[in-house]
A and B are shown apart, each in its own frame.
Chain A
Amino acid sequence: MFPHSAVLVAERGPIPAKAGIGLRFPHHQAVIDTRPDIAWLEIHTENYMGGGAPARCLEAIRRDYPISCHGVGLSLGSAQCLDRAHLERIRRTIERFEPGLVSEHLSWSIIGGHYLADLLPLPMTEEALEVMCRHVDQTQAYLQRRILIENPSSYLRYRHSTIPECEFLAAVAARTGCGILCDVNNIFVSASNHGWDPHAYLAALPPVAIGEIHLAGHTVRQLDDGKVIRIDDHGARVIPEVWMLYAEALDRFGPIPTLIEWDTNIPALDVLLGEGGRAAAVLDRVGKRVSHADAA
């Protein structure tokens, strides 16, 4: 088990409890040229594992902004061994860009040496919990730092699952000392798709383990029988219901670094900054309440 420790969290360039946005290639030059007013930026780790122009742009950008590294490809939930070569690429990327936070997902994507290019759902079983914890332990030991684990959106459930996802995630954090990246949009999407109570989901997460929050837009697909399924495509603005759930999350957890993600139909940088501004306003209100409470 990896110990909880303030030293491990306080890496160089800590991520402030403010609003950030996902850094995407089409915005590199605009960020470099205009130095927008945003507290921090998050990259997809896999997009900066090579050299050349992307890495050079990020070198320039990170002089002015704290950076967080968010991975999609480690496949911590694979029944087979972790991909050591990918873990080493992550380690090198972290060494180069010195992120304040490093995160991955409660999911799997590799079997038999093939990467299936999605965050695939785990069966919520004791066996999967053991696999997940073993791989989080190995990753934290290899990277010599704490990581955050994010709850994914999902579109199916397995018959043999026995543990609610929120309890599974809390157990991974408790057993490995990892933090939780609470994706509020994913909670809303999965809760809607599976008939869960999103408020109970938030309430089941340990506030001390929450290291980051994600917000994004999703699409709603109408089914023939009038039902809907929500697809997490990060291709639109955050919807009002998710903003409300976000405010509830901050009430529970206090001010937490919050990221706006947008990956398909990427809009102009200003649109993302506008969404970031909305998150910042919610964070401000909670921050003021917290400081009033401290003073009282």
Chain B
Amino acid sequence: MPTLLDLQHAVHRSLVARNDAELASHIIPDGLAPQSRLNIYRNTFVGTLTTALRLSFPAVYRLVGAAFFESAARIFIEAEPPDSAYLDDYGETFPDFLARFAPAASLSYLPDVARLEWCVNRALHALDVEPLDLARLAAIDPQDQSRVGFVPCPSIGLVRSTYPVDAIWRAVLAQDDDAMSKIDLRSDPVWLLIERRKSGVDVIRCTAQAWRFASELFATRPLEAAIDAAPGVDASILLADHLAAGRLVDFKFVDLAGANAPEVNP
């Protein structure tokens, strides 16, 4: 008789690796082969997670078509099952999987479209967090200002691509063939900021310098590091914009090596 733990590992091998050999011996056939009984659960396992990925990556789904998407999703699901039932959080590594997935190699912009969709998905579902109280910033000792590291709103995402993935993403979701045909894949790179506003999710194009500043800022690196990463930009204007848009929700004091000092609670 298997222990509960051994049995559950055998079910994992059956559903994820399609190896029923051991598990089948523990199941009563009763007129239907154990493999057929296990197929019912396997179908739910793959089907539920494929649906979750399709909802999070609707433009990828349309770009590659249902059959291609389902076969790619199945390979991804079996290689990287989710770690919890909070499926809004499932699929973060799907773009990297697509980048390695040889049958998708001819669609060179696909992984970056997927990266954009993941940021949109995260923006849709991120927890609601109050913006930073500016009075707390004002109370910082001027000599500590360069050590301030900001905590971004959880709905914020940043994507850069050598392809105009924002235009591709919009045209695909709008099923706008005319717009799609006008997209020039050799046009300039895009630097994108994704965030949730009251009206929905916005995908905003930035300059390369503003994007570099934002990527340091939102990684809770000290303000000084963000300024160094984007020479020639007016950091005070960019920072004021981010604060006014509610993109920063907290701050800590961090040193330039990145080690966090204790969080302040003025």
B27 near A78: Cβ-Cβ < 8 Å: no
10 closest cross-chain pairs (CB), A and B: A73-B85, A50-B125, A51-B128, A79-B5, A156-B37, A79-B4, A114-B81, A111-B8, A117-B48, A118-B44
B41 near A118: Cβ-Cβ < 8 Å: yes
A117 to B81, CA, bound (A): 9
Report A-chain residues with C-beta under 8 Å of the C-beta of B38. 156
Sample of 22 A–B contacts (CB below 8 Å): A50-B125, A50-B126, A51-B129, A52-B124, A52-B125, A52-B128, A72-B85, A74-B85, A83-B84, A85-B84, A86-B84, A108-B8, A112-B12, A114-B12, A116-B15, A118-B41, A120-B41, A155-B37, A156-B34, A158-B28, A194-B30, A195-B30
Task: Count residues of A near B (Cβ-Cβ below 8 Å).
Answer: 51
Report A-chain residues with C-beta under 8 Å of the C-beta of B4. 79, 122-123, 125, 127-128, 131
Report B-chain residues with C-beta under 8 Å of the C-beta of A108. 8
Q: Does A144 contact B (CB under 8 A)?
A: no
Residue ranges of B at the interface with A (Cβ–Cβ < 8 Å): 1-5, 7-9, 11-12, 15-16, 26-28, 30-32, 34, 37-38, 40-41, 44-45, 48-49, 81-88, 123-129, 155, 196
A156 touches which of B5, B28, B196 (Cβ 8 Å): B28
Q: How far is the CB of B76 from chain A (nearest CB, A)?
A: 13
Known: A46-B86, A117-B82, A118-B44. A156 touches B27 (CB 8 A): yes
A227 near B44: Cβ-Cβ < 8 Å: no
Nearest chain B residue, comparing its CB with the CB of A127: B4
A117 near B44: Cβ-Cβ < 8 Å: yes
B85 touches which of A115, A195, A229 (Cβ 8 Å): A115
B5 near A157: Cβ-Cβ < 8 Å: no
Interchain pairs with CB closer than 8 A, number: 130
Q: Does A31 contact B (CB under 8 A)?
A: no
Q: Does A63 contact B (CB under 8 A)?
A: no
A50 touches which of B28, B41, B88 (Cβ 8 Å): B88
Q: How far is the CB of B35 from chain A (nearest CB, A)?
A: 10
Q: How far is the CB of B249 from chain A (nearest CB, A)?
A: 12
Contacts of A75-108 to chain B: CB distance below 8 A? 75, 78-80, 83, 85-86, 89, 108
A158 touches which of B7, B49, B123, B155 (Cβ 8 Å): B7
* 20 further A-B pairs in the complex, CB-CB below 8 A; given A71-B85, A79-B5, A131-B4: A49-B86, A49-B88, A50-B127, A52-B126, A54-B125, A74-B85, A108-B8, A111-B8, A111-B11, A114-B16, A116-B45, A117-B48, A117-B85, A120-B11, A125-B4, A155-B37, A156-B27, A156-B34, A159-B26, A227-B32
Report A-chain residues with C-beta under 8 Å of the C-beta of B15. 116, 118
- Interface bits A216-252 vs B (CB < 8 Å: 1, else 0): 0000000101010101000000000000000000000
Known: A52-B125, A55-B128, A131-B4. A116 touches B16 (CB 8 A): yes
